[in-house]
């Protein structure tokens, strides 16, 4: 009896200590690194809300619970790199969602790539994000397409012959997009008559806008983040610069309207998502769930956060594995995935081929104008 009792106690201890290990093996760990604080916190907060809603819709994969591990990058490149390192080494994640902006994804991507941990960015549009990165993917369009569509619309629909550009030189995304727009606008017969520069967190743009006014452009292109675009629009109105303003997906945050007010009325931008254009079954399901969960209207950055999650879950399902190389291969073969933001195709280069939407600000709201296909 004594030997039997000792065996029973020993077995009990084994199961007691082994329990958490077995439980851990029964979960799929997804790391999320986003700017929850700092200058571009609005993007991270929206994307995290979208990821959480997507997780509620699809809480399991391969019959296992999906665990989410969030790390705040504080809108900083070094913090972004540290976040990816932490998620891989400390949290032992199987895959990663993030980052929201290109510069931070460029900082975190190489670390995930070296560790062979698949990474899916919701909204990093700079082409360099996936270049020579076998394990880095995105569910958004890339800037050459976005810049081309903006330039084409400005030239053909607005009839612009002369463009001015105000660009944030502190952000890879902004610089790259400004260059793509300029090249395409010239290709469409236009001329860039002025290029002025600013930096993230700048408050005063009057000197740059004054030089732009002197060049007498037909359109002003500002491919910057929402705060700088809103402040520049307010100061442009004060100076009397009365030309159409075109911007990009980085402006599609409610803060643009909160900060800019009536001075961002009429601004046009290329974006990822418009609720009016959402047509897939997953989009309808997501929009209902998101708006019920948050009490807010579904918008671009939360929708793309959800798409990063859903595309990743689809890849893991098709891979029938949580091994990095298997997930990577499945992500690279994603075809005709009916996502929240539209149909997504991903190639071996990690880039998504998909449409974009044109929107403007009207009566203090983002309004859908058109869908443009690649």
What confidence tens digit (pLDDT) does each residue in 337-347 have?
999 999 999 98
Res 146: pLDDT:
95
pLDDT at 177: 96
Which pLDDT belongs to residue 25? 60
In this prediction, residue 374 has a pLDDT band, given cuts at 50, 70 and 90, of confident
Residue 26's pLDDT band, with cuts at 50, 70 and 90, is confident
Q: pTM for the full model?
A: 0.87
Instruction: Indicate if the pLDDT at residue 204 is higher than 70.
Output: yes
| pLDDT, averaged across the chain | 93
Predicted confidence at residue 347, as pLDDT, reads 87
pLDDT at 274 over 70: yes
Read off the pLDDT of each residue in 267-282 and give the average, rounded to a whole number: 95
Q: Which of 4-13, 78-87, 304-313 has the lowest mean pLDDT?
A: 4-13
pLDDT band, very low/low/confident/very high, at 19 (cuts 50, 70, 90): very low
Tell me: pLDDT of 98 over 50. yes
Cα 277 to Cα 33, 40, 295, 314, 355, distances in angstroms: 29, 26, 20, 23, 11
Domains of the chain, each with CATH number or no CATH: 22-140+277-354 (3.40.50.2300), 144-271 (3.40.50.2300)
pLDDT, residue 327, reads: 98
Least confident of 9-23, 123-137, 324-338: 9-23
Pairing state between β 356-362 and 268-271: antiparallel
Position with higher pLDDT, 71 vs 172: 71
- pLDDT for res 12: 42
Q: What is the mean pLDDT of residues 170-179?
A: 94
């Amino acid at each position: 009896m004594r030997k039997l009792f000792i065996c029973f106690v020993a077995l009990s201890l084994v199961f007691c200590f082994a329990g958490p290990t077995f439980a851990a093996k029964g979960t799929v760990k997804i790391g999320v690194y986003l700017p929850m604080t700092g200058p571009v916190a609005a993007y991270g907060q929206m994307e995290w809300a979208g990821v959480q809603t997507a997780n509620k819709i699809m809480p399991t994969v391969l019959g296992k619970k999906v665990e989410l591990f969030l790390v705040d990058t504080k809108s900083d490149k070094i913090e972004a790199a540290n976040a990816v390192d932490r998620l891989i080494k400390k949290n032992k994640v199987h895959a990663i969602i993030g980052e929201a902006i290109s510069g931070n994804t460029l900082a975190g991507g190489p670390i995930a790539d070296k560790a062979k941990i698949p990474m899916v960015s919701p909204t990093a549009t700079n082409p360099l994000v996936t270049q020579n990165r076998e394990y880095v993917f995105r569910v958004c369009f890339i800037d050459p397409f976005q810049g081309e569509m903006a330039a084409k619309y400005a030239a053909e629909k607005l009839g612009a012959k002369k463009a001015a550009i105000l660009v944030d030189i502190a952000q890879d995304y902004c610089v790259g997009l400004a260059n793509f727009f300029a090249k395409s606008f010239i290709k469409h017969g236009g001329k860039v008559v002025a290029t002025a520069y600013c930096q993230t967190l700048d408050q005063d743009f009057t000197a740059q806008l004054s030089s732009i006014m002197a060049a007498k452009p037909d359109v002003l292109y500002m491919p910057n983040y929402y705060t700088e675009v809103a402040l520049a629009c307010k100061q442009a109105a004060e100076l009397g610069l009365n030309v159409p303003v075109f911007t990009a997906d980085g402006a599609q945050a409610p803060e643009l309207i909160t900060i800019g007010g009536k001075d961002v009325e009429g601004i046009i931008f290329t974006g990822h998502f418009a609720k009016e254009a959402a047509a897939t079954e997953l989009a309808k399901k997501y929009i209902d769930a998101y708006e019920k969960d948050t009490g807010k209207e579904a918008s671009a950055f939360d929708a793309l956060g959800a798409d990063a999650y859903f595309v990743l879950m689809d890849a893991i399902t098709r891979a029938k594995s949580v091994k990095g190389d298997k997930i990577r291969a499945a992500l690279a073969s994603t075809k005709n995935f009916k996502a929240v933001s539209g149909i997504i195709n991903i190639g071996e280069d990690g880039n998504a081929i998909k449409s974009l939407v044109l929107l403007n600000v009207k009566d203090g709201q983002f309004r859908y104008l058109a869908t443009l296909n690649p």
